[in-house]
Amino acid sequence: MYKRLQDYPRPAGDSGYGFHINAAPFPPKRDELQSQVIPLMKSLGATWVTVYVSSADVQEWLDSVKLLVDSGFEVVVRYHVTNQPPHPDFVPSTEAIARFRALGVRYFVTGNEPNLGLENPSRAGPDLIAQQWVASSDRIKAAGGIPMMYPMSPGGRAPDYDARAMLTGILEWLKANDALDTLDGAAIAIHNRPHGKPLDSRDSTSFLDYEWIDDTVASYLGKHIPLIGTEAGYAFGEQTVAQYPRIDGELHKQYNMAIITGFRDGRWRDSLFAQTFWILSGFGYREFISDWWVENPLNFGKDLPIVDALKAMPKFTRKFNEPGFQTRPRP
């Protein structure tokens, strides 16, 4: 059991960032990973990877996950079936989690944005989502994994649930039902998407909302546990709030680089373990094309400017503010 933030696993040469590499629930194939994706991510300084997999029964996908682990990345497996929305009923089998654990995967998120009707069409409330979490957490722990509380979609308005209200409601149910211990040795998945707002903005759809999440969870647990941005960063072309400029290539580079250098310079809380930026590229699937960093169709098929900027930036190991964080050197 992980007692302190310092005890949780992290990758060698931990930079604090990486990528959610696939929007469709099928990882890039092993040959593509080996020849293109992994060298690219290493050239960008990534040490964390979120990979979306919809089945633990496809050997080809397991081979891809194993290659990512063997290449030195700390892999977060986003695992839920695609023939139905994940909430409020999907609970992974211990056997499925054990297959990933045998590959060296440690972090698991088995749901997605339960505050949205798209992922929770019955609009199940925090009580039912909390019960789903308890069952999922128990099975992941039984297989030796680290369960991650479901990430919320930032903000939210009727008929969807507000993200903060859903998270608080889940925590309240866990407290009332003596189940806060399901978060012992666990982590929190967050979707840290700033909606085009400057980094110093502070509200429920800002980058710094991670501090509210951190404080809220700690107020129930009496301790801090890792927050991992499984979808993170600014999206090319977005202008969610009219008062802020559209995110062109230069702003995309400037803002996302500021998140990355924040890890280098120790500007973020130690509990913000990682940001895996959404999304590296399509890899054969044309989904969420505006968000691709590599070969972005809305940028005339070219890489966004941040790609060259990151390749040119010296690689670093993230800085923590508290003592006791040991980081193995990069191989």
Q: How much is the pLDDT for 1?
A: 76
Is position 136 within any domain? yes
Is position 324 within any domain? no
Q: Which amino acid is at 26?
A: F
Placement of tokens 């040991």 in the chain: 326
Distance from C-alpha of 128 to C-alpha of 300, rounded to nearest angstrom: 45
Q: Could you tell me what percent of the chain has a pLDDT over 90?
A: 93
Is position 18 within any domain? yes
Q: Could you tell me what percent of the chain has a pLDDT over 70?
A: 100
All residue ranges of the chain with pLDDT < 50 are none
Q: How much is the pLDDT for 32?
A: 95
Give DSSP secondary structure letters for 7-34: GS---TT--SEEEE--SSSSPPPHHHII
User: Domain containing 101 — which CATH number?
Assistant: 3.20.20.80
Q: How much is the pLDDT for 83?
A: 86
* Token pair in block for residue 110: 């088995």
Is position 319 within any domain? no
Among the listed residues 111, 159, 116, 158, the one whose alpha carbon sits nearest the alpha carbon of residue 137: 111
Is position 43 within any domain? yes
- Structural domain count of the chain: 1
- 251 in Cβ contact with 245 (< 8 Å): yes
Is position 70 within any domain? yes
Is position 213 within any domain? yes
Q: Which amino acid is at 10?
A: R
User: What are the two backbone dihedrals, phi and then psi, of residue 189, each rounded to the nearest 5 degrees?
Assistant: -85, 135
Q: Could you give the maximum distance between any two Cα atoms of the chain, in Å?
A: 54
What SS3 state is found at 4? coil
Placement of tokens 């798209």 in the chain: 118
Distance from C-alpha of 124 to C-alpha of 87, rounded to nearest angstrom: 8
Among the listed residues 3, 5, 2, the one whose alpha carbon sits nearest the alpha carbon of residue 321: 5
Distance from C-alpha of 99 to C-alpha of 178, rounded to nearest angstrom: 30
Q: How much is the pLDDT for 159?
A: 87
Is position 327 within any domain? no
Distance from C-alpha of 178 to C-alpha of 30, rounded to nearest angstrom: 44
Among the listed residues 279, 283, 309, 302, the one whose alpha carbon sits nearest the alpha carbon of residue 292: 279
- 154 in Cβ contact with 191 (< 8 Å): yes
| Predicted model pTM | 0.97
Q: How much is the pLDDT for 43?
A: 98
Determine the structural domain holding residue 222 and report its residue range: 5-312
Q: Which amino acid is at 24?
A: A
Q: How much is the pLDDT for 82?
A: 87
